[in-house]
Amino acid sequence: MRVVTPFSRRVDDTMESFIMGLVEVAARPGMISFATGLPDNDLFGTDALVRAVGDVLREDPAGPLQYDTASGFIPLREYIASRCRDVLGVDATYEDVIMTNGSQECFDQLGKMFLDRGDGMVVENPGYLGAIQSFSAYGPRFTGVDVGEDGVDVAQLEEALSHDPKLFYSIPNHQNPSGNSYSDAVRVRVADLVRGSGCLMIEDDAYGELGYGGRVGRTMKSMAPDDVVLTGSFSKTISPGMRVGWMVVPEWMRAEANRNLEASCLQSNTFCQKVVHRFLMDNDYDLFLDGLRRGYMEKKRIFLEAMEENLPGTMRWNDPDGGMFIWLRSPEGTDATALFEGALDEKLVVMPGKPFHVRGGANTVRLNFATPSEEQIHEGMRRLGRVCRRLYPE
Amino acid sequence: MRVVTPFSRRVDDTMESFIMGLVEVAARPGMISFATGLPDNDLFGTDALVRAVGDVLREDPAGPLQYDTASGFIPLREYIASRCRDVLGVDATYEDVIMTNGSQECFDQLGKMFLDRGDGMVVENPGYLGAIQSFSAYGPRFTGVDVGEDGVDVAQLEEALSHDPKLFYSIPNHQNPSGNSYSDAVRVRVADLVRGSGCLMIEDDAYGELGYGGRVGRTMKSMAPDDVVLTGSFSKTISPGMRVGWMVVPEWMRAEANRNLEASCLQSNTFCQKVVHRFLMDNDYDLFLDGLRRGYMEKKRIFLEAMEENLPGTMRWNDPDGGMFIWLRSPEGTDATALFEGALDEKLVVMPGKPFHVRGGANTVRLNFATPSEEQIHEGMRRLGRVCRRLYPE
């Protein structure tokens, strides 16, 4: 047998995510997907982006093509900092904002910067699988704290923090996968627990701008600025394909975060940062977001109606006030893997909820109502209805 | 004192690079830079790129804005694979090609995948600092093998490989920083050493397409396909700001490399991959590269003439047959830090050679002739001449 180079332990430690694999499955002919977290193609501000690209290249043809500094394009960072101050209640300057290749890269950077193998880390249960996969490479011991309708279970979090974990990863707004948000009371108690604890909280705000009735609560970063890194992204609003994400970091870790990003990829791409900045300068972003929110709220309405119409009474689901996901439950004690497989036979892709859990969750499924067209929603839900009625008859 | 979250050991292990810092210094008013590795703004195919962007967005407005698979846009990977077969002698298919956020990300990915703390790693001395910084985060023990006019010292490499290092990082063509290339004889001997050694060779081909008289030698990947990862980039040819790089990996590590990239950033950006692909489809890339090579060769000629004219006889330098760099030496035993500092006083930025070394190299300086305009070359060289004559008089 030939000698090949042995992998590092990180390769064994890195969990499977399934998510990107399902993108490929979903692309097969005839397939309808409720599985992934893709924004609706029809809601992109395509014409305005085409104008922004043209303007950026006309005014300074070489600039967007050239290298920039590691932390990114300063005018875009200034815009994000001002939005932090005006909308998120976070007292940030552009120097606190570090641009990344989507917010997934933030999770990798923070894992790399803080996790030695065996360190403790708190994650939500269920929690966002893509981020957890990213952290898993650095070999932490994960502790799961349950997330319900009001957000994280505070007593469980307090117990978990008593074991000195390094990081706590959370999505307080319209969580992926459950769609749930932290209540105001939970936010206050979590901030009190995290402040000065020595555990850095990662507040993933990917869906924060997609509250259909506006933002659903104060940011954790505004309540515990030195103990929270807020991560953001234009992937759910402007374009995921451009990979423009960022993190707002406390000053005490700024220099290290910059050096770490430089070591990992030099910088995120100048071209898309300048295009996004131009788009933000030339358009009313709040007006654009309003359109997006209305669009997704309407999608959700259609989706929920189709669920009512097609799914048997044995199934349960929620009605989130933002984001892109509905959390579906088959009866307690059942394993929704069968539902996933049955749906595939019907050429429908759904995302099993189990992989988002460190414990439990076998009977859960994540449904994305944002990506499919209205026609696909109706046809997909007929397929899902057939599978559910067969597996979980009333 | 407040409690902050302790960093991982990686943060201490990660070296400083200086490179991105110098980009900021070089941007100060009145400053001339021979320091960084920026391509010449005037040699970008800006008009053709503007057309490519327009075409891509007109034909499929949403596609470039949307998520893609982790390994990247298949038609672009097919193009790169076909170029591997036709120009690099590498028998690759698109499945062997994984798109990354510039080739810096390849180094991070390979370090992450292979290096446990304390593992051995061979680097060139001098070697490319940016890559070495990237690997340093994973805490390897570096062994340096000297690089001279014919490339790497084969006896030193053989000795280094006897200690079972995991990785060997090299730039066989127009090396950054020295401008030197491996001779044919060295390539054959290195391939023999690496083949089946259990040490994975990373062949950084960033400058391979910038040989002024064509490619200077066979790729290492063609001679030891299972033992070499070839990394490439459009940063030195089409645009660094777009961050479109790739690695061509042996089949035995393909699945792990894909999963690792997904965990780190989901995928590199769809938008720029599609624009670059369109640019390649609609233009004759070899003709474009010919123009680039002629442009840089002319830049080098002007630069060398200005060196002859301005620098004292105590200084030595080479005349590379490709790439962007000239390797300057002050007299043996001197420390070119003084030269760096003296030049800064004259508002000229040069890159000290010492940080590119694991040993020696105090009297070396890397000069980039690609970025400055002809006027800046003349003025910058007058400044450099003044400093050199003062520090190292004849």
Confidence of residue A20 (pLDDT cuts 50, 70, 90): low
CA distance A359 to A145: 10
CATH value of A9-45+286-391 in 3.90.1150.10, 3.40.50.300, 3.30.360.30, 2.40.110.10: 3.90.1150.10
Which residue of chain A is at minimal alpha-carbon distance from B257?
Answer: A11
Per CATH, is B46-282 categorized as 3.30.70.260?
Answer: no
Cβ proximity of B228 and B196 under 8 Å:
no
CA distance B362 to chain A (A): 23
CA distance A360 to chain B (A): 23
**Residue A37 clears pLDDT 80, i.e. is over it:** no
- Residue B262 has its nearest CB partner, among A9, A17, A58, at A17
Q: What radius of gyration, in Å, describes the C-alpha atoms of chain A? A: 21
Contact at CB, B240 and A66, closer than 8 angstroms: yes
Contact at CB, B264 and A113, closer than 8 angstroms: no
CA distance B141 to A37: 41
Q: Is B264 within 8 Å of chain A by CB?
A: yes
The H-assigned helical ranges of chain A are: 9-13, 19-26, 46-59, 74-87, 102-114, 129-136, 154-161, 184-194, 220-223, 254-265, 270-282, 285-310, 337-345, 374-391
Q: What is the mean pLDDT of residues A81-91?
A: 97
CA-to-CA separations, B244 to A61, A303, B85, B307, in angstroms, rounded: 18, 38, 20, 34
Which residue of chain A is at minimal alpha-carbon distance from B73?
Answer: A241
Give average pLDDT by consecutive 10-residue segment, chain B, 394 residues. 77 81 81 86 84 87 84 96 97 97 96 96 96 95 96 98 97 96 98 96 96 95 98 92 96 94 91 94 94 94 98 96 95 94 95 93 95 95 97 94
DSSP H or E segment with residue A210: none
**Residue A210 clears pLDDT 90, i.e. is over it:** yes
Cβ proximity of A143 and A122 under 8 Å:
yes
| pLDDT attached to residue A278 | 95
- Residue B198 has its nearest CB partner, among A5, A65, A67, at A5
Which residue of chain A is at minimal alpha-carbon distance from B261?
Answer: A134
- List pLDDT tens digits, range A328-362: 999 999 999 999 999 999 999 999 999 999 999 99
CA distance B85 to B235: 21
CA distance A321 to A215: 10
CA distance B137 to A257: 13
Backbone phi, then psi, for B143, in 5-degree steps? -115, 130
CA distance A229 to A299: 31
Confidence of residue A3 (pLDDT cuts 50, 70, 90): low
Q: What is the mean pLDDT of residues A186-190?
A: 98
**Contact residues, A window 198-217, toward B, CB-based 8 Å cutoff:** 198-200
Tokens 């933030």 locate to: A106
Of A64-68, A179-183, B280-284, the poorest mean pLDDT is in A64-68
- Residue A252 has its nearest CB partner, among B4, B57, B239, at B4
CA nearest to A272, candidates B102, B54, B272: B272
Contact at CB, B263 and A108, closer than 8 angstroms: yes
Q: Is B370 within 8 Å of chain A by CB?
A: no
Q: What is the mean pLDDT of residues A145-174?
A: 97
Chain A residues inside the 8 Å CB shell of B69: 20, 23-24
**Residue A174 clears pLDDT 80, i.e. is over it:** yes
**Two tokens at A328?**
């579906």
CA distance B298 to B100: 31
Chain A residues inside the 8 Å CB shell of B195: none
Cα–chain center distance at B334: 27
Tokens 């992926």 locate to: A176
CB contacts < 8 A, A to B, total: 270
- Residue B272 has its nearest CB partner, among A23, A62, A269, at A269
Q: Tally the C-alpha atoms within 13 A of residue B86's C-alpha that lie toward its C-beta.
A: 7
| pLDDT attached to residue A331 | 96
Q: What radius of gyration, in Å, describes the C-alpha atoms of chain B? A: 21
CA nearest to B265, candidates B31, B101, B91, B24: B101
- Residue B105 has its nearest CB partner, among A134, A200, A265, at A265
- Residue B269 has its nearest CB partner, among A2, A24, A269, at A269
End-to-end CA distance of chain A: 57
Amino acid, single-letter form, for residue A356: F
CA distance A179 to chain B (A): 21
**Contact residues, A window 29-88, toward B, CB-based 8 Å cutoff:** 36, 38-39, 41-42, 44, 46, 49-50, 53-54, 57-58, 61-70
**Two tokens at B287?**
């003709």
Amino acid, single-letter form, for residue A69: T
CA distance A354 to A359: 8
CA distance B83 to chain A (A): 23
Structure-model confidence comparison of residues A275 and A58, the more confident one: A275
CA distance A82 to chain B (A): 23
| pLDDT attached to residue B289 | 94
| pLDDT attached to residue B20 | 67
Q: Is A1 within 8 Å of chain B by CB?
A: no
SS3 A145: strand
> β-strand A167-170 against A120-125: which pairing, if any?
parallel
Contact at CB, A7 and B113, closer than 8 angstroms: yes
Cβ proximity of B18 and B129 under 8 Å:
yes
> β-strand B364-368 against B325-329: which pairing, if any?
antiparallel
SS3 A284: coil
The structural domains of chain B, with segments of one domain joined by +, span 9-45+286-391, 46-282
**Two tokens at A235?**
């992937």
CA distance B158 to B194: 9
- Within 8 A by CB and 6+ apart from B29, the residues are none
- Residue A53 has its nearest CB partner, among B4, B5, B57, at B57
CA distance B313 to B304: 14
**Residue A1 clears pLDDT 60, i.e. is over it:** no
CA distance A368 to A378: 14
CA distance A58 to chain B (A): 9
Which residue of chain B is at minimal alpha-carbon distance from A244?
Answer: B269
Sheet holding B97-101, edge to edge: B97-101, B244-248, B228-233, B200-204, B167-170, B120-125, B141-148, B151-152
Amino acid, single-letter form, for residue A101: N
**Two tokens at B204?**
């950084």
